[in-house]
Structure 1
Amino acid sequence: MSYAIAAALQTAVFQALATDVALSSLIGGAVYDELPEGIAPDTYVILGAETTLDRSDADGDGAEHRLIVSVFSSAGGFSQGKQAAAAVSDVLHRADLTLSRGRMVFMTFEKAVAKRDTVSGLRRIDLKFRARVEDDLIS
């Protein structure tokens, strides 16, 4: 297994989301790896948890990354959050991201869970994606 591509994948996902015009028009560029201190924007996207599974084979090292991208919104109802979540899905589903190490085999949307966070009162939509990557460095 190779976890070596995890940082390259995270960087590529972040860049794809942060530079997407449609998503930016909805959230004003509020894409985070970690929410900054202070008052949060009304709607924002944050990179979440990740699980990685070995997908190495006789040809080389590879991994399947199951990652979560979350949309949070303080707007009444789910409409604004769902619009942002749809834009996130449009960016990442079947994305052919360029990685600084390794290569993207595929990335697909798996599911979304929309709920109201009982502690913060925010609407939250967790989008789950599956990315298959291969390491191009020869061991």
Structure 2
Amino acid sequence: MSYRASAALQGAVYQCLLADPAVAEQVGDAVYDAVPIDPPSGVYISLGPERVVGLPDSGGGAARHDFVVSVLAGTDQAAGFAAVKRAADAVSAALETTELTTQTGHVAGLWFLNARAKRVENSAERRVDLTFRALMDLA
């Protein structure tokens, strides 16, 4: 069991999203490691929470990482879900079709788990939270 690959996985996800042409078409370079204090005006991506569970049968070097990538509408995109859902589709496609390269360990598998589209509380802004599962192996 190990948490050692967490930062490497996050970096690989971030680089994948920045480099993907379909993602760039939807959000430009608006991919963030955290929600910005002053949200951009257009649609943007924020890497979110992660839950890591060690896999004890693996000999100590594997862990399951469930992580969230959020696609959010900035202030000028509050009219509806269309732009946010297009960007969420691009994020999902990028992560499902790109082989992620990490500096610590390797991604033994990556799967889409679920998505939740919702209106931001007390606002007309929209968001889609995409949850993925990665199996990280340090061996």
Task: Give the aligned CA root-mean-square deviation in angstroms.
Answer: 1.5
Q: Distance in 1 between matches of 2:39 and 2:12?
A: 27
Partner of 2:18: 18
In 1, the alpha carbon distance for the partners of 2:37 and 2:58 equals 46
Counterpart contact for 2:16–2:98, Cα < 8 Å: no
Q: Once the 2 structures are TM-superposed, how far is the Cα of residue 59 of structure 1 from its aligned partner?
A: 4.1
Per-residue CA distance 1:87-127 (angstroms, 9 max, x = gap):
00001125421110101100010110000012343101000
Name segments (4+ residues, structure 1) moved above 6 Å. none
Structure 1, unaligned stretches of length 5 or more?
none
- Distance change >3 Å, CA 49–CA 60, structure 1 → 2: same
How many residue pairs end up in the alignment? 136
State how far apart, in whole Å, the 2-side matches of 1:43 and 1:29 are: 10
Gap runs ≥5 in structure 2:
none
Match of 1:133 among 125, 133, 136: 136
Give secondary structure in 1 for the equivalent of 2:57: coil
- Is 1:69 aligned to residue 65 of structure 2? no
The alignment's TM-score, normalised by the length of structure 1, stands at 0.91
TM-score by length of 2: 0.91
Change in Cα spacing, 1:39 to 1:115, as seen in structure 2 (3 Å) is: closer
Structure 1 contact 94–106 (Cα < 8 Å) conserved: no
Paired residues for 1:38-57 under 5 Å: 38-57=38-57
Partner of 2:81: 78
What is the percentage of aligned positions where both structures have the same residue? 40
Query: How much has 1:61 moved relative to structure 2?
Result: 1.0
Tell me which amino acid in the other structure corresponds to 1:14. Y
Shift of residue 36, structure 1, vs aligned partner: 3.5
In proportion to residue count, which structure has more helix?
A: 2
